[in-house]
Structure 1
Amino acid sequence: MQKLNTIIFLLLIVIVAGCKSTQQTREKETLTTTDNSKTSLDWDGVYVGTLPCADCPGIATEMELNKDQTFSLRETYMERDVAPRVSEGTFSWNKQGSTITLNSNGKEIASYLVGENTLIRLGMKGKRITGALADHYNLEKKQIKITGTRWKLTELRGQKVNHSSAFIVFSTENNRVYGNSGCNNFSGSFELKKGNQIGLSQLASTRMACPDMDSEQAFLSAMGMVDNYSISGGTLLMNKARMAPLARFEADFSEK
Structure 2
Amino acid sequence: MRLLPLALLVVVSACHRPAPKTTSRPAPPPAAADDVPDYSQYVRQGVSYFAVGNEPSWGLIIQSDRRMHLRTPTDTLSVPTPSPIVSANGERTYEGRNRGNSIRVNLRPARYTDNMSGQQFAYTANVTVKKGRGPVRTYSGGATALNQLMLLGENWRIVSLNGKTTPAQGRQQPFIEFQPSANRVLGSGGCNRFSGTFRADNQLIKFSPVVATKMACANEVNTFETELFRALTGTLTYSIERGHLTLSRDGKAVLIAKRRD
> What TM-score bracket applies, with the shorter chain setting the length?
0.3 to 0.5
Structure with the largest fraction of helix: 1
TM-score, normalised by the number of residues in structure 1: 0.40
TM-score, normalised by the number of residues in structure 2: 0.39
Work out which of the two has the higher radius of gyration on C-alpha atoms and give 1 or 2.
1
